[in-house]
Amino acid sequence: MNTQPAPRAIWQAVSMYARAHKIIATLAALALVYGGYSAYDAFTAPSTATRYITTTVATGAVVATMSETGQVSASSNVSIQSQSAGEVLSIPVAAGQHVGAGAALAYLDSTTAEQNVRSARQALQSAQIALAKLQEPATTATLTSAQNTVASAEASLLQAHQSGYNDVSVAFLNLPAVIAGLDTVLHGSTVPGRTSQQNEYAYSDMTSLYYTTVSQYQTAAESAYQTAYIAYNKTLVDFKATPRSADDATIETLLKESYQTAASISDALKASTNFLNFVSSTLTSHNLSVPATLATHINTLTGYTTTTNSSVATLSADTASVTSGNRALAAAEASLTQTQSGADPLDIQSGELSVQMKQDALAVAQQALANTAVTAPFSGTVAKLSVQRYQTIGSGTAVATLVSDNQSVALSVNEVDAAKLAVGEKATITFDALPTISIAGTVSSVDTIGTVASGVVSYNAVVTFDTPNTSVKPGMSATASIITGTETGLLVPSSAVKTQGGQTYVSLFNPPLVGSSANTGATSSVAPTQKAVTTGLTDNTNVIIKTGVSEGTQVVIKTITGASATVATTPSATSLFGIGGGATRTPTSGASSRATAPGQ
């Protein structure tokens, strides 16, 4: 038997309950409606979480191009001029003849140019030989000579040290008596009638009544004596402590010190002699009695002066000899070192510079020789010959008129694109009338001065065909796709690079955001960080990153908010190329670009 109530019975029971409990039934109905609506809204409402789409930095190449339209130009007539002067010896072509690029149109006398080439080549060979000699290692004879010079300098210096030490020894045989005698002359008490005074004071007092300046002479003599006495005692101690076998530096120091001490004693003798001579002349000029000891003291000082000055001269010569010996030894050792190590780097550099100059001179001479043959710079037809055989012409003289086979496209380029153009850039040329033909070309000229029309500045440029094509006629419309730059490096989409406050940066997650490389991106609980970068060439779709990130780095290329599913942008942060958030810039009209990277 079925015990489950029928739906109709259940509905009747609910209806009866609702009529009996109207308030409760109403509240229950409202709750049910609200809950259903909330569930529906939860399932159907868009997510509010921000999603990030990323890519990985990879090595690739950016090729920036621009497309310009123009017309095929007609062939041009060019006057071919001589780049040299001389007599025309031969004209191997005739008017109306077709010639290829590089074909000779005329030959000039090359005698002088050939002589100049030979002379320049000989000068170069001479410079190369001189440089080779500099770079050669020293011979055994040269090395031995340098070693002998060092040995001779060492022997001379040793002799100077020995002679100096001997002369110091001789000086200290004489100087003790001199310094003691000077002390007796000044500080003894031998002046008759004034034995209670030291001689210097006795002589000073005898003279001061007439000339008070005598005290200055006395003070100078006493001061010079004290200086000499202190120097003498110190040098004597050092002399006694220095054996003949002492090292060179110690003997040189003793020699210099002894010379200075002898000079100080000589100065003291001179000051004392001046003092006594002043006293003697003063007493004599006033007809006063001159003590007998005064003349004796003056004669004693004169003898001491002769002895001391002899020591001063000898020690001075020894000091100079040691100094000269040291210099000679240093020079000999430096010469030996240079001989062992090879030529001086500056000499080698000078030799290399001389070789380079001679090479340049030879190149100039060879070019002058080449210029004696006047050649066609391009293929074409000789329209007219302007010179005759045996005619003497100068540099710049028109030799022939050549009608060019070259084909080119004349372009009028706006000032923005003109700034990117450079002679030598490669191009691909296509034609409206010849859709199956594509010709390689090269930018051959770009005007440096623009023309202004209706306020718009434009520049004329010419793209020359690399290979002429007879199907292309003058006046045809053509489009030149010009490669303005290529660069290989780390590549990211342009939308990944932004600027703010003059700073260029990319946004990245650390650690990388999982699943963000899909078209729908991935959410993150934290915002990406900014990483400063420097950029290189861009093709408006991709950009080269020079510094700031490494290969394999994950960078944000697009930010999507769940509410609007649009790219998030802010007034303060824009794409490096004027694109907000993660949008991709479309190349401007008249220009195209492309980029390649691994896997693309």
Residue 543 and residue 60: Cα distance in Å, rounded?
10
In this predicted structure, what is the pLDDT of residue 586? Answer: 34
Q: Do the beta carbons of residue 568 and residue 579 sit within 8 Å? A: no
HSE-CB of 317 using CA atoms within 13 angstroms: 8
Instruction: Let me know if 568 is exposed, middle or buried by CB neighbors in 10 A (0-12, 13-18, 19+).
Output: middle
- Structurally, at CATH architecture level, domain 67-84+390-483 sits in Beta Barrel (2.40)
Instruction: Give the distance, in angstroms, between the CA of residue 490 and the centroid of all CA atoms in the same chain.
Output: 27
Tell the burial category of 114 from Cβ atoms under 10 Å away from its Cβ (0-12, 13-18, 19+).
Answer: middle
pLDDT at 137: 81
* Alpha-carbon span 198 to 213, nearest angstrom: 19
Left, alpha or beta for 578 (phi > 0: left; psi -120 to 50: alpha)?
left
With a CB cutoff of 8 Å and minimum separation 6, the contacts of 245 are none
137 upstream amide cis, omega within 30 of 0: no
Phi, psi of 174 (to 5 degrees): -100, -35
The H or E element spanning position 529 is: strand 529-532
Cα torsion through 376, 379, 380, 383, rounded to 10: 10
Chunked into runs of 10 residues, the chain (600 residues) has average pLDDT values of: 56 64 66 54 56 91 89 78 92 91 93 94 94 82 89 92 93 94 95 93 90 92 96 95 93 95 96 95 90 94 95 94 93 85 82 93 94 89 91 92 82 87 90 92 86 88 83 88 89 91 89 81 86 89 91 90 48 51 38 43
Give pLDDT tens digits for 228-276. 999 999 999 999 999 999 999 999 999 999 999 999 999 999 999 999 9
Architecture of domain 51-62+485-596: Beta Barrel (2.40)
Tokens at 189, concatenated: 């008490």
Which residue ranges make up each domain of the chain?
10-38, 51-62+485-596, 67-84+390-483, 116-137+346-370, 166-341
Beta strand spans in 376-521 (E): 380-385, 392-393, 398-404, 408-414, 426-431, 438-446, 451-453, 456-465, 477-493, 497-500, 503-508
- Pairing verdict, β 554-560 and 542-547: unpaired
List own/partner pairs for 118-126 with CB under 8 A and 24 or more apart: 119/365, 120/358, 120/361, 120/362, 120/364, 120/365, 120/366, 121/362, 123/358, 123/361, 123/362, 124/355, 124/358, 124/359, 124/361, 124/362, 126/358
Query: Are 474 and 480 spatial neighbours (Cβ–Cβ below 8 Å)?
Result: no
Q: pLDDT tens-digit profile of 426-458?
A: 999 999 999 999 999 898 888 888 899 888 899
Q: Where are the alpha helices (DSSP H) in 21-139?
A: 22-44, 111-135
**Helix locations, 532-597, DSSP H:** none
